[in-house]
Amino acid sequence: MVNTQDLASLVNRVEELEKRQNITAKYAVGLKRQLSELTKQFNHLQQCFETQLAEDKATEQAADASVIDKDENLVLFDSNDELPTNSVVAEEDTEAREAELEEEIDTVVQLEPEDSSVFTDEEFKIERVMWLLNKIYAAEEYPQDIVISAEVFRELYKQGQRDFSKRNLREIDLSGEYLAHGVNLNEANLSGANLSKADLSSAQLIRAKLTNANLSETKLANANLEGANLRGVNLSQTFLLNLNCTEANFYEANLKKSNLSNAKLIKANFSNANLSETKLRNAKLIRANLTNANLSKANLLDTNLEEANLTEINLKYALYNHATVFPKEFDASQSSAYLIGSDVSLQNANLVNVDLNRLKLIAANLSGANLQGADLTCTDLTAANLSKANLKSAKIDHTQFPGANMSGINLIGVNINGNLSGVNFTEAKLCGVNFTSANLSEANFTSADIRGADLSYANLEKANLKDAQLGGAILKDTKLSGAIMPDGSTHE
């Protein structure tokens, strides 16, 4: 919190500077008036001098003509002889001109205002400083040269101020601060600032300078960073949904695991940037520069990369679909990225922690794929081949598996419910799986490991549990009518 005495002192300093500014302005007006008068006198002197030169030249020419006319028949002197008459005339002319110049200078001196000030060296230094201050404070209340501290910023923000445009906030620490909705930081200097975990949702940061700032885990949803300089900035794990970064500079920035879905990134510079595991779903990267950028494991579903520069881009394990727009002549199939959709082959694909929610992967071949930690919420996997796939700790909620082949699948630690009727779980690893209230009728659990699984209220009617391991499984109110039990007997 800012001390009351400090604020009062700051106010007094501003008032004093304003007074000096007024004095400086008056001084400048007087100085300009004197300069204008001296300019007029100088122009007059120059005109007089040029007139006198013209008259002298004419007189000299007339004198030379007279001498030639009178002495036409005289004998020529030797080269070492002197002409006394011409020398005397020249000396007289020079003396006359000097006298006239002295008179003109005296006239100028006499015309100077009687109240004109003569400054000592010390006074001149003071006046010079005041002139510089006038130049600074005439433009803005807080000039770029004056750094606003975090304490002053918080106090001003608390008092209701939201306009910090063009302010110098260099290296300010606002980590964790709530600055959402209405804060104006357009053209502000935030280079080296710590804004980690701050909430800057809907903030205005047009052409702001954020070089080498820390924005990790910062909320910037719906913010406007058009033309902003984010060179070398840390934006890892940042929420940037619906962001406007048209023509922004992200050179060598770290955006790993950030969410840029639906962001407007037209003509943005991402050269040498780290965008690995970043969500760019439905983002607009038209004519963006992605030279040497790292987009490994990035989500490019429905992303528009039209006319973007993808020179030396890394798209290993990145996701794209038929709606993703790449530049002409760019072959995504040769980039080690994965095409996501129905009937596609993703055999043995590395899809760890990927977001596949609400996608259609009908009849897709995912055998042997690693989907550990993947988000499969509402994903349609009807008739998909998931044999020996790893879905350990995957998020499965309202996921559709009708007719899917899940033999040998690893679902350890997963909560799975919904309709799993007829699914093939042969030799599947289902230890500790939560099947509470799931429909598993006619499912095949032959030789599956179901130890410790929760099958409370689940429907396993006519399911095949032959040779399955059920040690420690919870079968509270489980429907087992017609099910084939591990020993081969049929449950009544």
Residue 216 CA to residue 237 CA, distance in Å, equals 6
Span 92-120, mean pLDDT? 49
Q: Which residue has the higher pLDDT, 159 or 109?
A: 159
Q: Are the beta carbons of 184 and 208 closer than 8 angstroms?
A: no
168 closest CA partner among 120, 208, 222: 208
Span 47-61, mean pLDDT? 63
**pLDDT digit string, tens, across residues 434-479:** 999 999 999 999 999 999 999 999 999 999 999 999 999 999 999 9
Span 268-296, mean pLDDT? 97
Residue 57 CA to residue 284 CA, distance in Å, equals 79
Span 219-237, mean pLDDT? 94
- Res 418: pLDDT: 77
Span 414-424, mean pLDDT? 89
- Res 3: pLDDT: 60
Q: Are the beta carbons of 400 and 420 closer than 8 angstroms?
A: no
Q: Which of 56-60, 64-68, 191-195, 263-267 has the lowest mean pLDDT?
A: 64-68
- Res 116: pLDDT: 45
Whether 77 shows a pLDDT value over 60: the answer reads no
3-state secondary structure the chain: CCCHHHHHHHHHHHHHHHHHHHHHHHHHHHHHHHHHHHHHHHHHHHHHHHHHHHHHHHHHHHHHHHHHHHCCCCCCCCCCCCCHHHHHHHHHHHHHHHHHHHHHHHHHHHHCCCCCCCCCHHHHHHHHHHHHHHHHHCCCCCCCCCECCHHHHHHHHHCCCCECCCCECCCCECCCCECCCCCECCCCECCCCECCCCECCCCECCCCECCCCECCCCECCCCECCCCECCCCECCCCECCCCECCCCECCCCECCCCECCCCECCCCECCCCECCCCECCCCECCCCECCCCECCCCECCCCECCCCECCCCECCCCEECCCCECCCCCCHHHCCCEECCCCCECCCCECCCCECCCCECCCCECCCCECCCCECCCCECCCCECCCCECCCCECCCCECCCCECCCCECCCCECCCECCCCECCCCECCCCECCCCECCCCECCCCECCCCECCCCECCCCECCCCECCCCECCCCECCCCECCCCCECC
- Res 82: pLDDT: 44
Residue 211's pLDDT band (cuts 50, 70, 90): very high
Span 254-277, mean pLDDT? 96
- Res 108: pLDDT: 40
Strand 338-339 versus strand 319-320 pairing type: parallel
**pLDDT digit string, tens, across residues 296-316:** 999 999 999 999 999 999 999
Structure tokens at 306: 């039209």
How far is CA 72 from its chain centroid? Answer: 92
Whether 412 shows a pLDDT value over 80: the answer reads yes
φ, ψ for residue 98, nearest 5 deg: -60, -40
Q: Which residue has the higher pLDDT, 213 or 94?
A: 213
- Res 442: pLDDT: 95
- Res 300: pLDDT: 97
Whether 119 shows a pLDDT value over 60: the answer reads no
Residue 113's pLDDT band (cuts 50, 70, 90): very low
Q: Which residue has the higher pLDDT, 148 or 138?
A: 148
Residue 125's pLDDT band (cuts 50, 70, 90): low
- Res 60: pLDDT: 62
- Res 486: pLDDT: 96
Span 99-116, mean pLDDT? 47
Residue 50's pLDDT band (cuts 50, 70, 90): low
